Chain A
């Protein structure tokens, strides 16, 4: 049973890689059957060459991903700490409101947000993709951090306060280093979400010089007479960092899924 599942999940991936290295022009029909007729790694170089501004797209996507991870970690961990350890009027109501925003589907927010960013003159810049990460745009991560900070003994932050720390130093020197499991989880989830994001870049980024890999791939797909082998080679290259990150941080990822209760 487990082998059947493994085959089912791996098949599309293997098929994509198999198509990416088959001889150009063999078409979708050949698929994995083309393996014996030779492997053509040069398809990857050809894909990079033919996909317009490939390295520029990689640069844009990497920049967005790194900044998003930094923004999410900074904002969500601070907000989570405040909700867990600071006492202020209306704290719990505010937290409920933050959680409540999770119920709003992104499609509902798309038009008002677009209008807002247009009014601010931020369309076709990275700001619409980055600002939400710095202003609590991921209530679920805030929730994760809050729950984790609540699970740490209160005496730790109290000891830090007696030892001369204010809230910021307590957070940076004591609480955040202890929250490494959540930091890893949020970083990986944000990486996957940003790297693979198609929807937001499609809405906000117009100029070719601002586009990301997912938009580039879509454009590549729609371009005139693109060979399926090159499309699969480009897809494999874009997917590779996700697979690499997964294998490198497998334990953190699985722990994160357990922490968050997320499935699938």
Chain B
């Protein structure tokens, strides 16, 4: 395994700057999640690391060495694609063994390592099947086995769970976390799903318009978002953001701040006045949509609060749970 470093990495397609001078360090054995909305450049970063795209500027260093001039196969990375990219004409055994065969490894070694990887992922009985004879989850495991059979320095995952159903996704998430613990491998994982980001990553890098907005542990990023984009992006439901002037709370910069609070950290009975618009019962929580003048806020309450549409409510948030951002730049205020 090895550390990975991106230095001022840039990539544009035509006039569109997809990755904009990104600096990022991933330590040896770390699980870093790149998270962001569609089109933010996260998959392009992964493809730049893998060598599937050529960088316009900057450097990609693996284990302290620049790999920009190396072909994808010589970078010692393995990649799991969103649609698994299993070779449909090959059996599971041949799919898993493919990278080793291409490396001209001795046949016996290829067989042993393929079977070891298959056993690790619980697909030992499927070795003679073709990908078309496998379920989505099994295909996913084959793709993982093909990646880990190489024992690469860095694993790259490009939204590998986005094509599986919710139950399987939860299962595979846990499987991936276990795999990371077991292998201690350097992994970079791209997703737009914040639950995956929060649960899998040692650290999260939030991306927006080709730039890294914040890098930190999941709790750091969640509890202390660097700007209003990160604040609104992470969390379900997202953080409520209101102009300070529309709230009864103190504004550290006069009228130029935006105040944010998490729906889970608000309670009833405060001085921010509004009227209930909608109540969504989710079983474990109840989402209450409140209209406060021109702005809408969402509160996450314990079910059984008895509120209904049209009722007037007051919203309270304790001062430590209020976040302040600059209205123009969106940057977090102290």
Contacts and interface: CB of A to CB of B under 8 A. Distances in A.
The answer to whether A and B come from one shared complex is: yes
Contacts of B77: 162
A155 B83 contact: yes
Contacts of B71: 161, 166
Interface of B: 50-52, 71-74, 77-79, 81-83, 85, 87-89, 98-99, 102-103, 146, 150
Interface in A148-166: 153, 155-156, 158-166
Interface of A: 153, 155-156, 158-166, 169, 173-174, 177-178
A30 B59 CA distance: 85
A51 B52 CA distance: 61
Nearest to B158: A155
Contacts of B87: 156, 159-160, 174, 178
A161 B102 contact: no
**Interface of chain A: mostly helix, strand, loop or mixed:** helix
A158 B73 contact: no
A57 B102 CA distance: 44
B138 to A, nearest CB: 17
B81 A164 contact: no
A156 B98 CA distance: 12
A177 B72 contact: no
Contact of B73 (A156, A164, A173): A164
20 contacts: A153-B83, A155-B82, A155-B83, A155-B85, A156-B85, A158-B81, A160-B98, A161-B51, A162-B51, A162-B73, A164-B74, A164-B102, A164-B103, A165-B73, A165-B102, A173-B98, A173-B102, A177-B89, A178-B87, A178-B89
Contacts of B78: 162
B77 to A, nearest CB: 7
Contacts of B98: 160, 163, 173
A187 B308 CA distance: 72
Contact of B146 (A163, A166, A173): A163
A164 B71 CA distance: 8
Given A164-B99, A173-B102, 13 more contacts: A153-B85, A155-B83, A158-B79, A159-B79, A160-B98, A162-B51, A163-B102, A163-B146, A163-B150, A165-B73, A166-B71, A166-B73, A169-B102
